[in-house]
Amino acid sequence: NAGVTQTPKFRVLKTGQSMTLLCAQDMNHEYMYWYRQDPGMGLRLIHYSVGEGTTAKGEVPDGYNVSRLKKQNFLLGLESAAPSQTSVYFCASSSTPPHYGYTFGSGTRLTVV
Amino acid sequence: ELKVEQNPLFLSMQEGKNYTIYCNYSTTSDRLYWYRQDPGKSLESLFVLLSNGAVKQEGRLMASLDTKARLSTLHITAAVHDLSATYFCAVDIGSSGDKLTFGTGTRLAVRP
């Protein structure tokens, strides 16, 4: 019973490098989300998806891109990393209504130097 | 724009005492969620409140929702050290994708 799996768990990038964070869920959930968590700011929504092949912008989308080619996977890309993107990134998924909240992944701690 | 405010932001309390965390939000909603996060860990769902007047209890924690006042409370009864964590409330206003907007969190430290 894996739930939501995020890889990698930790990563250090140099400014300007690119990377992709992978989120995989095995619960057949339609909706998937990427949040970032910064001290004192709670969680802020980056992008989300309401189904395979769909993506939409959240509150803080700049500098990120996403793709949802398969229902179970939601990828978050950083094309040119900046120190301001140092954060903990959480992926989450949920079923369509009735809505009982999110299931979160374990998080990816990203440091950009 | 939906704003979700929690207070206090930090709470240090003695074991055995009672306290309440407040979550206020700015836009009409009848869907509110409480999560717990231990240091360095992910978020764990505590309560799902889906209607005005909803009350849920689990052990020493009780959550309630007043949609008219746009207020939810998380009440802690006879705190124990194991309750030390950060608690987040999150609100869904029913927009496309059922997106949640989170409060900034309340860091709870229970001391002997």
Q: How far apart are CA A48 and CA A68, in angstroms?
A: 9
Asked if residue B15 has pLDDT above 70, the reply is yes
Tell me whether B36 touches chain A (CB under 8 Å): no
pLDDT digits (tens, 9 = 90+) for A80-94: 999 999 999 999 999
Give the HSE-up count for residue A48: Cα atoms under 13 Å, Cβ half-sphere.
23
Q: Which of A74-83, A91-100, B47-56 has the highest mean pLDDT?
A: A74-83
Asked if residue A97 has pLDDT above 70, the reply is no
pLDDT digits (tens, 9 = 90+) for A3-27: 999 999 999 999 999 999 999 999 9
Q: Write the residue in B31, B42, B48 that is nearest to A107 by C-beta.
A: B42
Q: pLDDT band for position B51 (50/70/90)?
A: confident
Q: What amino acid occupies position B96?
A: S
Q: Write the residue in B9, B88, B96 that is nearest to A50 by C-beta.
A: B96
pLDDT at A96: 74
| Local structure of B51: helix, strand or coil | coil
| Local structure of A83: helix, strand or coil | helix
Helix extents (H) in chain A: none
CB–CB of B102 and A106 under 8 A? Answer: no
Q: Are A31 and A54 in contact (CB under 8 A)?
A: no
Over residues B34-56, the mean pLDDT reads 94
Which residues of chain B lie closer than 8 angstroms to A33, CB-CB? 97, 99-100
Q: pLDDT band for position A98 (50/70/90)?
A: low
Over residues B36-58, the mean pLDDT reads 94
Tell me whether B99 touches chain A (CB under 8 Å): yes
Over residues A65-86, the mean pLDDT reads 97
Asked if residue A1 has pLDDT above 70, the reply is no
Of B8 and B28, the structure prediction assigns the larger pLDDT to B8
